[in-house]
Structure 1
Amino acid sequence: MNSASFSHSKYAIVGGGLMGRLLAVSLAQRGAEVDLFDKGHSDASGAAARIAAAMLAPLAESVITEDSVVRMGIHSLPRWKELINQLSAPVFIQQDGTLILWHRQDASDAERFTAHLERNCRNNASLQLPQKLNNEAIRDLEPGVAARFTQGLFLPNEGQLDNRQLLDALLIELNNLKVHCHWNTEVNPDDLRKNDSYQAVIDCRGTGAKNAWVANSNNTLRGVRGEVVRLYAPEVKLKRPTRLIHPRYPIYIAPKENDIYVVGATEIESDDLSEMSVRSAMELLSAVYTVHSGFAEARILEMATQCRPTLKNNLPEIRMRKDQGLSDLIMINGLYRHGFMIAPAILDCALELLASGDSNTALDLGLNISKEASNREASLCA
């Protein structure tokens, strides 16, 4: 993308979570002047992106999401490496695949899961077929779980990154690039649009933008509660993200650096941000113990909850509004549980939209971009 499109331009970004930071850094790298506003602290403690496993798993997620999201995930995998390589601070990222496991009593669920993955691979040539594993193959990949599992699947090319390292590294980059960061500052994007020095105002507030999305009753914004546990488990030594198929509480285990594991599963249709329930904690911890006995001696570092910003159709969307006498408004939302998996794809589409008013990448990936002008809205792609 031609950096000249952004040099000598000025943008305001509201929301300093994952998308806000990525956009602010990318625009500043291209020569733009950027003001970033967030009602929270610079540590992103109130952002959904801080409470996440940050798995980059388009094939695994294809079981529960639309093909467009899968394509965004495939697009984003190599882009993550490019984006991270441009940062001053290191960020843990790996692409060693995903391990899928199940207990004998859940074999029928595993068969359905496998058939779904294989069907998705036939429909999308960019996905690589899952590899069926016997006990010996499991032992070669993850020796620590071979005593408990005789069958599994290996999903090659999938990955993960450390979400908190990334947020911190992006903060360092914001400072290095002299982005004007206004933390602990709550602003209304519509008020910023009255400042004619901004080329555009970009709303990346996640669930904080609920009222702004009410204007389109066909795709309102809601929060979907997620709960995760962070564990210190030096006896476990898993090498890659591992998922357990279970009819009641399927879980994922994402190993980070220094023997830290992020464990999660629950999704609750609620915007409740209260502490984790006893039931959720017991189910998560009992399930993770069935994967590896070393978790029995793990130390619980954190039990955390957060709400994922989710639109009615569970798909991401970019909305663009032009009004005479006001700066353009770009609204980015609805990344749901796939924020880290698809964020680079959303970033690339947004940059194209800001540069030229259109995005061929969005058309290719199936990302919905709606355009509004003088209260008349037209859809760029369905």
Structure 2
Amino acid sequence: MHIGIAGAGLLGRLAAWALATQGHRVEVFDPAPGPAPLFNGQGAAGFTAAGMLSPVAERESADAALADLGWRSIALWERLSQALHAQAQVHETPDAPLFTRQGSLLVAHGPDLGAARRVLARLDDGTLPSERQPQHLPVDTLHGLEPELHGSSGPLHAWLLPGEAHIDTVRTLTALHATATATGRVQWHWGQTVGSVRPGQLDAMHGTQRFDTVLDVRGTGARPDCAVRGVRGELVWLHAPGVRLSRPVRLLHPRHRVYIVPRPGERILVGASEVESEDRSPMSLRSAVELMAAAHSVLPALAEARIDRLDVNLRPALPDHHPEVHHAPGLLRLNGLYRHGWLLAPALLDQALRDSALAPDGLPG
């Protein structure tokens, strides 16, 4: 089949690779100037993501159904990342895996223990199987797992969320583009904003393009076809030579959540989960100071880290914060993944491609 895809973010690149692997001819349209990250508030929101795959931690604000999809995605990412690493011949930090599964950590300072316990009660409502329940870590055990993680004013309270994972978002998006291109069946149309998507056709800058089937996997660009809004995400990239961190960390705080995630190349990412705003302007001084101070309060070794960049972008959210999957003859829509893009994308797309018979075997790898 001849298939058009509106959007070259995470879903668009995953779909292009999967459909080309099935033998389809694919054309992808996106307003970005090219496949590389921009780090300027524009482009694919998937680049501005720490890549935490945390189904249990997300239960604080998401339901059990989304968490189940997250566990399916973790299993898929484990397989997909190995295939991507091999097929794309990842050159930058080639020995570093794209995907790591060692669990994640929740930590809280002593005065915030009460707030942390309330969060933990929301995470485990009695339906979590024992092997996925948060495990309290004594100070010595935490030190054994992450020697440099400790409170600036006293011991931390900590819990391990077993089975959770994290993924290198930038390298994975780069590998997806390279692997899809290598099939010889994908044509990328950069600098092409899609105005509207209908069954069998999409309206691009150079006129209406017709296909056997069209996939709409745009983010905030899906408006007005989809009632999506932008939710601002902010991310600090730090270069921290010598700082050892193996697992993602969420700092539980009465007012906000801050996450700290290791990346290859001696990088540490520090971010905030969400800001209800469609502002794409650079990060404010207050946000930057709060994020970095919170990270430093549990990882004091960051004191001499250097700031690589302050990154912002908009995550696409629907009114109920749930993704929308819509099938019709000649059209497949997947929109509104909100802040759960990396957690949900493989499971949602795998099922959608199977249900639509576009890729009966689902995602490759």
Per the shorter chain, which TM-score range?
A: 0.7 to 0.9
* CA–CA separation in structure 2 for the residues paired with 1:344 and 1:210: 23
Distance 1:173 1:236, change over 3 A: same
Residue 221 of structure 2, aligned match among 197, 208, 211: 208
Match of 2:339 in 1: 337
Aligned-residue CA RMSD in angstroms? 2.1
Larger displacement relative to structure 2 (89-98 or 29-38): 89-98
1:228 maps to 2:235: yes
1:280 maps to 2:296: no
Q: CA deviation at 1:60?
A: 0.9
Cα deviation 1:159-187 (Å, max 9, x = unaligned): 00100000110111122012111111223
**Runs of 5+ unmatched residues, structure 1:** 1-8, 214-219, 323-327, 359-382
SS of structure 2 residue aligned to 1:275: coil
Distance 1:126 1:344, change over 3 A: farther
Q: CA deviation at 1:353?
A: 2.9
How does 1:238-253 map onto structure 2 within 5 Å? 238-253=245-260
**Runs of 5+ unmatched residues, structure 2:** 91-96, 203-207, 361-365
Match of 1:259 in 2: 266
Contact 1:189 1:203 in 2 (8 A): no
Q: CA deviation at 1:197?
A: 6.1
Aligned letter for 2:110?
A: R
* CA–CA separation in structure 1 for the residues paired with 2:213 and 2:219: 18
TM-score (norm 1): 0.84
SS of structure 2 residue aligned to 1:190: strand
Distance 1:150 1:14, change over 3 A: closer
Question: How many pairs does the alignment contain?
Answer: 338
SS of structure 2 residue aligned to 1:348: helix
Q: CA deviation at 1:86?
A: 2.2
Match of 1:77 in 2: 74
1:193 maps to 2:201: yes
SS of structure 1 residue aligned to 2:60: coil
Contact 1:309 1:334 in 2 (8 A): yes
* CA–CA separation in structure 1 for the residues paired with 2:128 and 2:323: 20
* CA–CA separation in structure 2 for the residues paired with 1:314 and 1:21: 23
TM-score (norm 2): 0.88
Q: CA deviation at 1:356?
A: 7.4
Match of 1:268 in 2: 275
* CA–CA separation in structure 2 for the residues paired with 1:190 and 1:143: 51
Contact 1:273 1:306 in 2 (8 A): yes
Identity %: 38
How does 1:116-135 map onto structure 2 within 5 Å? 116-119=122-125, 122-125=126-129, 128-135=132-139
Q: CA deviation at 1:67?
A: 1.4
1:11 maps to 2:8: no
Contact 1:14 1:189 in 2 (8 A): no
How does 1:13-92 map onto structure 2 within 5 Å? 13-40=5-32, 41-45=34-38, 46-87=43-84, 88-89=87-88, 90=90, 92=98
